[in-house]
Chain A
Amino acid sequence: MTEKFRIDDQTMALRVAKEFKDGDVVNLGIGVPTLASNFIPGDREVIFHAENGVLGYGNICTAGEGSYDLLNAGGQPVEPRPGMSILDHAESFCVIRGGWLDWTVLGGLQVSEKGDLANWMVPEKKIGTIGGAMDLAFGAKKVIVVMPHNTKNGGYKIVKECTYPITGFRCVDLVVTDIAVIEVTPEGMVLKEVAPTWTPEEVQQLTEPRLIIAPDLHEIELA
């Protein structure tokens, strides 16, 4: 197993945040995805949605600040922002299912070549948590999955077919990992960006399906 440099959680979140344009409505799932709300330039108006019932919240508060009556999906206090609105849970999922989300960003256990997502249960555990992920996978216009490229043991997480219980079929559009950015297309998975020092061949070795190398393949874009 290679012990090469891999980008950290904050940097993955920074890369994810680059996708969002002015006016986009974006749901962030628990874990690394929630970090993305901190990486929007001040002049860009992205409307963040948290499944627990808020639209248009601001940055994650620094430790010890903020209110426990204004939380993101991961339970972190977030800053209020002009234009923010509060929703009860049924309304919050009208936003999710009703097609109002331009993006959702979710964590993943496995993503298949066709864009199937598995992220709610490790089969051996016999019980897992669906939370909002299934509605998000079925409802959002575009799904970004952010996750380590491989399991702790070096196994594949980007696979030909998911072997874990499915959260959503053919729903994933973009995968951001600690070594690569991969787009899911009807022709297959396209390797668009690699982390510094990584070659496409090295990324392919750690990826089960065959990757199509983008003609403009480049180092991961952070600026």
Chain B
Amino acid sequence: MAINKIVASVEEAVADVHDGAVILVGGFGNIWNAPSYLLTAISKLPVKNLTVVSNSGGFGIEIWGGVFGVHEHDVEVLHRTKQCTKHIVSAPTNPLVVNTLETRYRAGEVEVEMCAQGTLAERVRAGRAGLGGILTPTGVGIPEIQRDKPVIEIDDRKYLVEKAIKGDFALIRAHKADRWGNLVYKGTSRTFNATMAGAARVTIAEVDEIVELGELDPEAIVTPGIYVNRVVLRQ
């Protein structure tokens, strides 16, 4: 049987997302690199108690629509629906707007696990790589980050033990895909998308274009298809 990871709709792509799922959301925080179609599809599902892992806490559709004319949801939508009850994040707040996460946090509706951005990236990479965790100097001695994590000294430098993150689902925004799930990205839209692809039981990529197998230059493929379970067009 030929390998074919292409699914017909974003609704079909996220149909098995379940209560309590850990969901990795690619992108940096800008709408242009957010898996916005997949996020919107999940926001319509009757699922709750989601743990979300993302760089940004989101801005909200009003900001993207009002300022940039892009009427799409970012990760904020999972707070709008109150589906997210725990968020592992490096930039939960932003200077533009008091976002829904911030409001919900003050109301005690959501647990926030603060994670330095590089630590977040490396914890996710470790999840994909089959590692149990990483050792990073970042955050040693910073109470809000160190908390009760073990500290290990190697060659006179101290490192925090930070656990790997592996999700149930990873939502990825890419530029082009083929039916094997090979992905290429565009410019800085690679960001956390390429980092998170493969760091979950099920990786789902929404893409601008699907091309024939063999069209993507093997030297240019950033995410090998084996990391990707489903590919869906942004439509």
* Number of residues from A at the complex interface, CB < 8 A: 37
Tell me the smallest distance from the CB of A121 to a CB of chain B, in Å: 8
Tell me the smallest distance from the CB of B92 to a CB of chain A, in Å: 6
Tell me the smallest distance from the CB of B195 to a CB of chain A, in Å: 4
A89/B121 contact (C-beta < 8 A), A75-B30, A135-B116, A169-B141 known:
yes
Residue of A whose beta carbon sits closest to that of B222: A88
List B contacts of A52 (CB < 8 A): 28, 188, 191
Contact A89 B91 (CB under 8 A): no
Is A90 located at the chain interface by the 8 A CB criterion?
yes
> Could you name 18 residue pairs across A and B whose Cβ atoms are closer than 8 Å?
A50-B188, A53-B188, A53-B191, A71-B188, A88-B191, A88-B194, A89-B191, A89-B192, A89-B194, A90-B122, A90-B124, A97-B136, A127-B92, A134-B118, A134-B145, A138-B140, A139-B138, A166-B142
Tell me the smallest distance from the CB of B223 to a CB of chain A, in Å: 9
Is A145 located at the chain interface by the 8 A CB criterion?
no
For the complex with contacts A51-B117, A134-B142, 15 further pairs of A-B residues with Cβ separation under 8 Å are: A69-B187, A86-B185, A88-B194, A89-B28, A89-B121, A90-B124, A128-B92, A129-B94, A130-B91, A130-B115, A131-B117, A134-B117, A134-B145, A138-B137, A169-B141
Contact B117 A93 (CB under 8 A): yes
Of B90, B91, B187, the most chain A CB neighbours within 10 A belong to: B187
Size category, B interface:
35 or more
A13 vs B138: C-alpha distance when bound (angstroms): 27
Is B16 located at the chain interface by the 8 A CB criterion?
no
List A contacts of B9 (CB < 8 A): none
A135 vs B140: C-alpha distance when bound (angstroms): 11
Of B32, B112, B119, B138, the most chain A CB neighbours within 10 A belong to: B138
List A contacts of B91 (CB < 8 A): 129-131
Contact B138 A135 (CB under 8 A): yes
Contact with A along B175-195 (1 / 0, CB 8 A): 000000000011111111111
Residue of B whose beta carbon sits closest to that of A51: B117
Is B114 located at the chain interface by the 8 A CB criterion?
yes
Is A165 located at the chain interface by the 8 A CB criterion?
yes
Contact B112 A127 (CB under 8 A): yes
A92 vs B122: C-alpha distance when bound (angstroms): 10
A90/B121 contact (C-beta < 8 A), A67-B187, A131-B91 known:
yes
Contact with A along B132-155 (1 / 0, CB 8 A): 000011111111110000000000
List B contacts of A135 (CB < 8 A): 116-119, 138
Contact A130 B114 (CB under 8 A): yes
A29-70: which residues lie under 8 A (CB-CB) from chain B? 50-54, 67-70
A90 vs B138: C-alpha distance when bound (angstroms): 14
Contact B93 A130 (CB under 8 A): no
Contact with B along A81-100 (1 / 0, CB 8 A): 00000111110110011000
Contact A127 B141 (CB under 8 A): no
List B contacts of A134 (CB < 8 A): 116-118, 138-139, 142, 145
A182 vs B131: C-alpha distance when bound (angstroms): 43
Residue of A whose beta carbon sits closest to that of B119: A135
Tell me the smallest distance from the CB of A124 to a CB of chain B, in Å: 11
The 10 closest A-B pairs by CB, nearest first: A93-B118, A135-B118, A69-B187, A88-B194, A68-B32, A134-B116, A89-B121, A90-B125, A89-B195, A70-B187
Residue of A whose beta carbon sits closest to that of B122: A90
A52 vs B34: C-alpha distance when bound (angstroms): 13
A131 vs B115: C-alpha distance when bound (angstroms): 8
Tell me the smallest distance from the CB of B147 to a CB of chain A, in Å: 13
Contact B190 A53 (CB under 8 A): yes
Residue of B whose beta carbon sits closest to that of A68: B32
Tell me the smallest distance from the CB of A125 to a CB of chain B, in Å: 8
List B contacts of A89 (CB < 8 A): 28, 55, 117, 121, 191-192, 194-195
Contact A69 B191 (CB under 8 A): no
Contact with A along B79-103 (1 / 0, CB 8 A): 0000000000011111000000010
Is A132 located at the chain interface by the 8 A CB criterion?
yes
A93 vs B144: C-alpha distance when bound (angstroms): 20
